[in-house]
Structure formats: structure tokens, C-alpha cells
Amino acid sequence: MKTIGLLGGMSWESSIEYERIINEEVRRRLGGVHSADLLIRSYNFHDIEELQENNQWDEAGRRLAADAAALERAGAEIIVLCTNTMHRVAAAIEAAITVPFLHLADATARAVLDAGIDKVALLGTAYTMEQDFYRGRLEQHGLEVTVPNEADRTFVHEVIFNELVRGIVTSDSKAGYLRIMKTLVQQGAQGVIAGCTEIELLVAASDLNVPYFPTTRIHALAAVDAALGE
């Protein structure tokens, strides 16, 4: 089993989900008391959020790249960045390491294509929905990606930062998300990507009648595949 290095803590609410899913899946596949071999760099999300808000992406990239390199020196054989939004600095991370970097958008695109879908709705932070680093990566795989209108994008973003990253889950916010997802499906989306790891705390596959792609689970399972050579 290869050692997985997790760049997490953005927020820790989703990082815990990565750790849980990875460990549960390793135990499911190998049996007994097996669990994953993990190295974890967890962050004070307040510091990361400030960099995002102040458009200091280069500094964010330097920090995450340095930490990815430190994980590699400590023995990580695979690097996993436990957040959709910070994949904006994926190139800086990849340039700093020699071990494989598992890009979240690539794993998600494979899952969508495997489901026989080519038009999908994307919900996430405003950065993820509006900028090209994530949508563009999905589109490189041949997917057509739709996002909510401006007002709904603002709602989705604010729920993430004001509620979900703080562990707050409300029925009103869930209803709002489901309304937005339903609208996008009515506009032609064949499935929905939960393009922020915290969204999975709010909306489950059972809440929808179209395929749902929870990126935390997809990415975590891809990490297990890589660690076990599958």
C-alpha cells in the first residue's frame, strides 16, 4: 500500500470526510484491521480564506506547494488536495513534487463519463463555478458544464462560507440548493456535480432523481485506487 499525503483542512469539515472515506474503503477492500497509510497537512482555514478573498493565489500556491513537497519528503507517494477551489493552484503543487498528484477534476470527469453523461451541472464556490481552472479542466474531458445564474451562484457560495465550512447545516439552505439543482436539470443537465467538498454535508444522492457526483467521495476512492494499485 502506498502512503497518501493529504493537503487538507480547507475546511476540516471536509478533510475529516476524506480521511473517513479513505480508511473505510481500505478496510472494505483489504479486510481485517487494515486502514490507510496517511500523512496529513491540515490548515487554519481562516488563513486560506483570507488569501482567496485578497486574490493572493500565487502566495496560496507557494504555501501548498511547499507543504506538498514536505509531505513527499516525509514519505508520501501520492498527493491529494482535499478541496475543489484550491485546485486553482494545482500547477504549482505539481511542479514542486515528483510523486503523482491526483487532480480532483480529472477523477470527477471520469466518474461523469463512466455514468454515460456529457452535460452536467456544477455547484461550488464562486471561484469554482466562475473561473476556468476547474470548469475548463472538466471541459477538456469533453463535458458540457452548466452553472447557476448569478443570484444563485451567490447563494451557493454564501452558504458554503457562512454555514457549511462552520459545520452548520440547515433545511432552508438544503431546500435552496435543491431548487437550484432542479432548475439546472430542467435546463438540460443530466447530472449534478457537488463541486465543493462541503456540499456533501448538505445534499445526498437520495435527494435527487438524476446522477449525483459527490467530489469528496469520488476523489477519496480514486486515492484508494492509486494507493492499492487498482
Q: Which residue ranges make up each domain of the chain?
A: 4-103+218-228, 105-214
Burial of 143 (0-12, 13-18, 19+ CB in 10 A): buried
Three-state secondary structure readout of 34-86: CCCCEEEEECCHHHHHHHHHCCCHHHHHHHHHHHHHHHHHHCCCEEEECCCHH
The pTM score is: 0.89
State the CATH architecture for 105-214: 3-Layer(aba) Sandwich (3.40)
First to last CA, the chain: 11
Q: Which of 130, 88, 84, 75 is nearest to 107 (CA)?
A: 84
pLDDT at site 165: 84
- At 156 the pLDDT is 95
Tens of pLDDT along the chain (230 residues)?
999 999 987 878 888 889 999 999 999 999 999 999 999 999 998 999 899 889 999 999 999 999 999 999 999 999 999 988 899 999 999 999 999 999 999 999 999 999 999 999 999 999 889 988 989 999 999 999 999 999 999 999 999 989 988 889 999 999 999 999 999 999 999 999 998 878 888 999 999 999 999 999 999 999 999 999 98
Decide whether 4-103+218-228 matches 105-214 in CATH topology.
Answer: yes
- According to CATH, the topology of domain 4-103+218-228 is Rossmann fold (3.40.50)
The residue with cell 485506487 is 225
The Cα–Cα gap between 139 and 109 comes to 9
Asked if omega into 173 is within 30° of 0 (cis), the reply is no
| Residues that are catalytic | 83, 196
Report how far Cα 216 is from the mean position of its chain's Cα atoms: 5
